[in-house]
Structure 1
Amino acid sequence: MGQSEEEREFLADLRRLGQFHRQYLDGELPQRKMARYLRVSPTTIGSWLRGHRIPQQQDTLASLVTMLHGEADRLGVAIPPAQGRLLEAETWRTRHQRIMRRRADAGGEQVQATQALMSLREQEAKARYAALQDKPRSLANWTPQQLGVHPAIRRIAPNEHDMFVLPRYFERRHDHVLREHLSTTAADGKTALVVLRGASCTGKTRTAYEAVRTCLPEWDLVFPKTVENLLALLAAGPLPANTVLWLNEAQNYLIGAMGEAAAASLRTQLEHSGPVVVIATLWTNYHRDLTETPAGAEDRFPHARALLNSVAPIDVPVAFTSQDLRALRTVAHDSRDSSLSIAARTSPNGAVAQTLAAGPQLVDHYERAELPPECFGKAIITAAMDAHRLGWAASLPAEFLKAAAPGYLTDDQRANATTDWFIQAINFARAKIKGVASALEQIPCSSGMGALPDQFRLADYLAHHARSTRWDLCPPASFWDAAGKHLPPIPDLSALARAAERRGRYRIAAVLAERAAAVDEPHGLYLLARARERSGDLISAEELYRLAADRGSARGLMEWAVIRENNGDLATAERLAQQAANAGDVLPLQRLAIHREKNGDQDGAERLARWAMKAGGDVVWSSLVGIRRSSDDVQGAERAAKAMADAGSPYKLADLWLRRRQAGDLERVEQLLAPLVHAGEARALMSLARQREVSGDLDDAVRLLQRAASQGNEAAQGNLALLYKASGDIEGALRLYGQLTALGSINGWTSLVRLTEESGDRQGAERLAREAADAGIPYGLSTLAGMRYKAGYQQLAEEMFRQAHSAGFLSNNMLTGLARRHRGDGNLKEAERLAREAVDSGDPQALRLLAELRVEAGDHTSAEQLMRYGLNADGSIAANSVS
């Protein structure tokens, strides 16, 4: 039944009422406060005030309007005459009564038809899902444990009925965002994807469970346990309305042999009508791997990238903010929830979710195992950690763990091993910590009861811990040998082969690649071809590159083209590169163009570059500019830069403008800029403005920057603000920075905070910094903290750094920066403590700083050990040592 004109006007007035609330009353009367009074959820209040739906009860609506009117009177808000009618409760009652009466009259005529249609759809759905292992069922029939929610820590061993502890849920900012999204989807009748992104054990699954239970309590939920079950479910047809598709740990569906098929099917599901919600939880690193466009590498996840990039993920923070922790302690005390009390008391850095899931205790259990027989368990856990961080996501067979373990043990530990050492190791690794989690978990059978024999999976929290603490270590030889002999030839084996190659383990990389290539895994074929090429066997390498290309490896196709090029077969090389470009990969064309350029064939290079540009790749022109500029071919560089500018990428011309200006060739700069300035190209306007500023013509510089800024160019707005600041117009600069913050600009926020502080408004700077943090801008508090530190307020600055870190807004390298500040002040002990913390958080730069601090302390041996085992940013073995 469509909406009447009266209903549309009613919803429009609800939106106006919501706008009035947000403009005048939100600070004193937030939605959560109104929700408690009216006994509904905050998302329901939000849905009403955004005009998404009409309240069912007129008394509730009248109470809401009365509450808003009373708050406006209390605050002395001058109500515009046009909005006065919006605060008349009786008028809303009358309008609501008319709409409900009309709905009842029209609805009665459709009841029988609707019931018949619903019955038919229900019968069709039952028939479609009859043969499926995983079927939709009422949310009330699902337990949080079945959906993957971690049980919480508990104080004493419970009885059998209390094995699964679920503490009281504490809502945070991301909860409100998620619930608003679910309520909007339910009201709009659409199919929507919701992605909850975060690190291990941060509460992603619990967040999703509580939101669905609150916002969609009457819906059905379906949870496919495997990617095969998901594909079967989606193949049965569109999901029924009012269904939640639950994809906990979505990487298990999207990464692997059938991951792209699953992603494509999910994209098709999103095209159907709803309301249907697809909820996916995903680790941050997996989300990054699945959504980044590969640069010069094979594109393995095009469908997953298109799926995930279609929505903005909702981030679940690693830690509670200091404000959250204070509120949590109050809630825990008032509710007498022992789990919350323990977590609130033992989580000084805000890692409450991890504490609840016993993550730290699990790490402690692992780290303290130094003597037999516990050390044997630690050895197999460490082997599993190394496998996971180097790219192995599948289950680990017992044979691999047993064969890898010796390299993680000392001679004395191995000498004390008994014949049943591996059984002892498995028992240690399988021990439940706090009755919640074990280091190695068994893999359930895909159907039926029980677990797969001799197959294990590493606990999520330990996998996360390994990436932070073992990133700088190369596994021992026993690990690589065990991988070559006992890991099955699946795509993950190619990831290990690549990791071995990056660490200089070429022999084992070839062994692993050969095993992966034996089952025609494309990347395994490519890696084996590289190994053959490295050994000088170019004939075998070319054949393997060809096989890899035939099975979809873009890099295999590229290397095959390069070999043909090097053999003088230019026509075949170009044909292969064009074939790749037709398939959407321009990298081979670009590489051949650069090869021709370096061999002196400029015409051939430019011809291939034009082909690449038609296929969507203009990066090659940038390389041609650089090559020609370095050989002093100014005209050739300028020609390549103009080709980029003509295609809409003028940044290389801007680079040439800068070099011309530095050389004093201002007349040529004007000639280069003229056509683009006339066309209003922002970079050209900014470059000419810079030239006018240098020559002292500030008025023209401002005019040019204003023209660029009017196009929404953030860099131009920032440069214009700097000119205002330099001329003493602080208010103008603050206004421009404020406009940038409205666009979510990080530079805008940091500049606004910095300039406000420099202007003497310390309270204003701190308020802005906290607003930036609340808006999710990572450098609000940390920027202000750095300024306070320089001003001598070290204790205050450190507290602000800590607040930023606990809120998840401080990157690891900021800890390193803070350590460097202490080092400069001579406080070496504190500098080393912070550097160690940054190393534990995964900042590679902190390792070098820590080594330098050890040198300054006279501990050269420890410093050299630190650098010897460190890795460069590209993953290669660090060659430098500290002397």
Structure 2
Amino acid sequence: MLQGQRTPQKPVLESFLDALNAPPTERAEIMKTWERLTDESREWQAGLVRVTEVSPRELGVNATIRPLPGYVPRLFDPDLRQRIEDGTRRGCFIVLIGGSSTGKTRSLYEAVRAEAGQWWLAQPADTRDIYRLLDEPDRPAVVWLDEIARFFDQTPALTKPQVARMVRAGHIVVGTLWFEDYSARMDSRVTGAVERELLLFAEKIDVPRYFRPEEQLSARRLAATDSAIRAALDAPDDGLTQVLAAGPELMRRWEHAPPYARAAITAAADARRLGILSPLPSDLLLEAMSGYLSRPEQAASQQKWLMEVTSYAAQPINETSLAALPREAGERPGTPPGYRAADFLAQQLRAQHRAQCPPESLWTALIDRLDSRDEIRRLSDAAAARMRYRLQARALRRLMTLGDGGACIELALLLVRRDDLEAAESVLVEGVRGQRDTRTATALVEVMTLRERAEPLRTTDRTAANARRLLWDLLYDRGESLDLRTKDGRGDLTAGDDLATLLAERGELTELRERANAGHRLAADLLAEMLATLRRSTELAARAKEGDQAAATWLDQQTDAETAEPAAEIARLRADLAAGAASAADRLTSLLFELGDEAALRAEVDAGTPHAVDRLLALLMAGCGDDATAAEEVRRLRAFGMHCDGTPALTEGNDHG
């Protein structure tokens, strides 16, 4: 304070003047100067406060036990605090990565308070607030981005150049991130380069799930005078920070919840699983709950539902302030308050319900009532990954009403797959009228061309089954396979190879077999590989006996592979997926395809696992053999997808559009 580097807090200054026994006139002049300096600083941005003026709860610390338990030093604290101390001179961007309720936010709060307690604090609600920070005068602040994942999918995006500008301006930018979110964002096959570049730019500090022995020793020293820590140490299996966050009690509260409270908690947790981070208003939550209730339970009034939610799910646990379904203020001023599942509970239920598709009531409530384009976009993608195309269409129509120009193209292509070309044209005509994007006009021309190409297949003299197959393929890949067949018929060898590869990827064994028998070398190789993959030893042996060298080679490899035990690898891959390692999806779905495990692949489709839809459809098609009716049903499933309960939606039905 004496060096004049920071404006002191008012109580500190008053105590200092008391100690000096300052004369009243001098005291008044000093306090007047303090008020002026403080007012000038506050003009930088309305609502800004010092770090030390903000409670841990306001910064996201799970203050579930009152008073807040003592802080147990972590082994990474010296490194974290040194980086923040360095950041007070040149700015920094630090992200703590770990699971829910592992102490990320508490450690970050303690470090920032210790090293930059007198700095201004900014808590942006969204990326627009961050951009506004960059437009303010150059006055460094701590920019608090707790749960940084909520900024990833917003518009405008949170990018490396944006954060780098804040660091160059001297800001201390800090945030936390769940490990599974970090793994998913760093997987190049799942996300784009923008998020990876941002996370690569960050100074990352890992927060282990459990305390190390040295940290446990520190906790035991604190336990002598801190009853909360002493109680947490008595339950070592749950983890100290998890117990302090009331994690195990949250799970017990969900497991023993009465029906309406349980439905509300599960719906809110499933919304988090689908990528919805904003609080759910009560009317949305009540609409979503219906799919989690039995028909007799649905007969009660919604007033009774809400009463149980507020009296049980939203009530703090014992003497803590943490509820299974806390009621929170809206994300931005003016937005209604709502309910959001507690972090620890949401994380546990996400792992527990990973392979369960949420009921339709949740999807429709979220799609119809949320106003965020980013969140509706995530719902659309989640529906597509689960082959719930009716819900995807509903989300895309909602995006159109919210001004998303690209949604009409996606919806049109979805309608094309369903052989509803007239509706697809109407959607694109509407899109062309409402915007100047040439992509929409190009898509309209493409759909009109497809409509012309489809007509001959409807009136062709070919057998009805073959014509219908060609029509479904035309609509599914918008002419790719039909063009390859045409070029192959003209002697284009590359097109013939590409067609064989496409048939193998889709599990079209019948046509692949026809091409192999006709002497196509690559088709024979791919057929042998597919037969080996699907463990069809009898046909593979028959082809090898007839002199098919590829079949003989794959038959030997298959004999060796059959001695391997896949159960342990499947369990490991699923555990990796549950922990957020999205890269395990490719190997897991490939292995389930090789095993011919249709039920397990369907479970991965319900989980939204990447590649699961394509592998399931290929497996089903490969199992059709020469049954044209069964193959027709698979193609219709490919076009129309499934209902939320997993049954095929083999007709147009109603997309509620």
Same fold (TM over 0.5): yes
Distance 1:486 1:522 in 2: 20
Aligned partner of 1:238 among 138, 153, 159: 138
* Matches for 1:16-55 after TM superposition, within 5 Å: none
Cα deviation for residue 479 of structure 1 reads 2.8
Structure 1 partner of 2:327: 442
Please tell me whether residue 141 in structure 1 is matched to residue 53 in structure 2: yes
Cα deviation for residue 279 of structure 1 reads 0.8
Aligned partner of 1:352 among 240, 246, 250: 240
CA contact 1:201–1:354 (8 Å) conserved in 2: yes
Q: TM-score, normalised by structure 1?
A: 0.47
Distance 1:536 1:817 in 2: 41
Report the CA distance shift for 1:839/1:228 in structure 2 as closer, same or farther (over 3 A): closer
* Matches for 1:148-547 after TM superposition, within 5 Å: 148-153=60-65, 163=66, 165-186=67-88, 189-240=89-140, 243-260=141-158, 265-272=162-169, 274=170, 276-293=171-188, 303-321=194-212, 323-324=213-214, 326-328=216-218, 330-333=220-223, 335-348=224-237, 351-369=239-257, 374-414=258-298, 420-434=304-318, 435-444=320-329, 453=336, 455-488=338-371, 490-522=373-405, 524-538=407-421, 541=424, 547=431
Cα deviation for residue 127 of structure 1 reads 5.3
- The code of the aligned residue for 2:325 comes to L
Cα deviation for residue 447 of structure 1 reads 7.5
* Length, aligned pairs only: 489
CA contact 1:549–1:557 (8 Å) conserved in 2: no
SS in 2 for 1:309: helix
- The code of the aligned residue for 1:266 comes to V
Cα deviation for residue 378 of structure 1 reads 0.9
Distance 1:206 1:599 in 2: 64
Cα deviation for residue 398 of structure 1 reads 1.7
SS in 1 for 2:355: coil
Cα deviation for residue 516 of structure 1 reads 1.7
For residues 169-207 of structure 1, give each alpha carbon's deviation from its aligned partner in whole angstroms, at most 9, with x where no partner exists. 223333233223223444xx3222111122222211111
Report the CA distance shift for 1:210/1:377 in structure 2 as closer, same or farther (over 3 A): same
Report the CA distance shift for 1:864/1:606 in structure 2 as closer, same or farther (over 3 A): closer
Cα deviation for residue 361 of structure 1 reads 0.9
For residues 515-567 of structure 1, give each alpha carbon's deviation from its aligned partner in whole angstroms, at most 9, with x where no partner exists. 12222225643442233212223465467579599989999899779769968
Unaligned runs of 5+ in 2: 1-32, 454-477, 506-515, 524-548, 551-566, 589-596, 621-657
Distance 2:452 2:265 in 1: 52
Distance 1:443 1:177 in 2: 34
Report the CA distance shift for 1:593/1:538 in structure 2 as closer, same or farther (over 3 A): closer
CA contact 1:150–1:357 (8 Å) conserved in 2: yes
Distance 1:413 1:550 in 2: 45
For residues 147-184 of structure 1, give each alpha carbon's deviation from its aligned partner in whole angstroms, at most 9, with x where no partner exists. 2211144xxxxxxxxx4x32222233332332232234
Larger Rg: 1
Distance 2:439 2:245 in 1: 42
- The code of the aligned residue for 1:257 comes to T
Cα deviation for residue 452 of structure 1 reads 5.3
CA contact 2:97–2:182 (8 Å) conserved in 1: yes
Report the CA distance shift for 1:125/1:606 in structure 2 as closer, same or farther (over 3 A): farther
Structure 2 partner of 1:572: none
SS in 2 for 1:146: helix
Report the CA distance shift for 1:553/1:198 in structure 2 as closer, same or farther (over 3 A): farther
Distance 2:438 2:269 in 1: 30
SS in 2 for 1:428: helix
For residues 589-633 of structure 1, give each alpha carbon's deviation from its aligned partner in whole angstroms, at most 9, with x where no partner exists. xx9999977764999x999xxxxxxxxxxxx9xx99x99xx9658
Cα deviation for residue 356 of structure 1 reads 0.7
Cα deviation for residue 379 of structure 1 reads 0.8
Report the CA distance shift for 1:171/1:268 in structure 2 as closer, same or farther (over 3 A): same
Structure 2 partner of 1:667: none
Distance 1:523 1:465 in 2: 35
Q: Percent identity?
A: 26
Unaligned runs of 5+ in 1: 1-119, 154-162, 570-590, 608-619, 635-661, 664-811, 819-834, 850-862
CA contact 1:522–1:548 (8 Å) conserved in 2: no
Report the CA distance shift for 1:231/1:365 in structure 2 as closer, same or farther (over 3 A): same
CA contact 1:152–1:339 (8 Å) conserved in 2: no
Report the CA distance shift for 1:403/1:264 in structure 2 as closer, same or farther (over 3 A): same
Distance 2:107 2:435 in 1: 41
For residues 71-112 of structure 1, give each alpha carbon's deviation from its aligned partner in whole angstroms, at most 9, with x where no partner exists. xxxxxxxxxxxxxxxxxxxxxxxxxxxxxxxxxxxxxxxxxx
Structure 1 partner of 2:12: none
SS in 1 for 2:328: strand
SS in 1 for 2:92: strand
CA contact 2:44–2:136 (8 Å) conserved in 1: no
SS in 2 for 1:149: coil
CA contact 2:180–2:579 (8 Å) conserved in 1: no
Structure 1 partner of 2:20: none
More RCO (CA 8 Å, sep 6+): 2
Distance 1:558 1:464 in 2: 43
CA contact 1:263–1:303 (8 Å) conserved in 2: yes
Task: Give the RMSD, CA atoms, in angstroms.
Answer: 5.2
Report the CA distance shift for 1:226/1:499 in structure 2 as closer, same or farther (over 3 A): closer
Structure 2 partner of 1:48: none
